[in-house]
Chains A and B, each alone.
Chain A
Amino acid sequence: MAGRFTRRLQKELLDLQRSPPTGVKLEDNTTRLDQWRIHLTGADGSLYAGEHFVLRFRFGNNYPMEAPEVVFEGPNIPMHGHIYSNGHICLNVLYNEWSPALSVQSICLSLLSMLSSSPEKSWPPDNDTYVRRAIASPKQTSWAFHDDTV
């Protein structure tokens, strides 16, 4: 990856290794700059307290002018009204509301807070239809953002 913003990604990587926020941990064997795995731990007092989730970040050459691709991965996908069982996440800042002032860390914190404010564990109502039709990258989906409470 030889994008001009490699230096920004390297900085973010170092920050995350040195002073990660509570509940956020970069996978130890991160060797590629263009793909990271981050472990999230559900916040105390939330429905997901103590649960572990794995996020996969992929960065294109235009990051941070373009949002990273962010999906949940692995056996434990959080059951949440805005997260599909294939790991795709319905969160506007990951798509049309992305801003280069956001960062890996701020995305992780948004996701943790999205989990914390969830009143119940359930998949989105259209989960089956979406997962059947969804393409590999959620960035190709045209999302409709309708709920700003959770």
Chain B
Amino acid sequence: MKVRVKNWSAVAVWRWKVDDDTCGICRMAFDGCCTDCRLPGDECPLVWGQCKHCFHMHCILKWVHSPNANQLCPMCRQEWKF
């Protein structure tokens, strides 16, 4: 029997490579997006600090730019450095 492929559709899944499930700041899933965004993915990326803690980029930026933050990681209170 000869099979001829006329067309095919590829389906892929993706997820961020991260140990935790949710962002410690907004409590939304890492595989979802922060509370300001509508679509997960490159538009709402994750970032890691030098302390290895991970957050949605938009969430940690809001925190380090807020007057109360003292530039510290919300998790371990070490200085936040990208």
Chain A: residues with CB nearer than 8 A to chain B?
4-8, 11-12, 62, 64-67, 96-101
CB neighbours of B52 from chain A (8 A): none
CB neighbours of A67 from chain B (8 A): 68
The reply to whether A66 and B25 form a contact with Cβ atoms under 8 Å apart is no
The reply to whether B35 and A66 form a contact with Cβ atoms under 8 Å apart is no
Bound Cα distance from A99 to B63, whole angstroms: 9
- Among residues 32 to 71 in chain B, which have CB atoms less than 8 Å away from a CB atom of chain A? 35-36, 59, 62-63, 66, 68-69
CB neighbours of B75 from chain A (8 A): 99, 101
Chain A residue with minimal CB distance to B70? Answer: A96
Bound Cα distance from A121 to B59, whole angstroms: 41
CB neighbours of B24 from chain A (8 A): 100-101
Chain B: residues with CB nearer than 8 A to chain A?
24-28, 35-36, 59, 62-63, 66, 68-69, 72, 74-75, 77
CB neighbours of B77 from chain A (8 A): 97, 99
The reply to whether A8 and B35 form a contact with Cβ atoms under 8 Å apart is yes
Bound Cα distance from A62 to B28, whole angstroms: 17
Report whether over half of chain B's contact residues are helix, strand or loop; otherwise say mixed. loop
Closest Cβ of chain A to B55, distance in Å, is: 9
Which of A6, A11, A62 has a CB less than 8 Å from the CB of B66? Answer: A62
CB neighbours of B68 from chain A (8 A): 65-67, 96, 98
Chain B residue with minimal CB distance to A5? Answer: B35
The reply to whether A99 and B27 form a contact with Cβ atoms under 8 Å apart is no
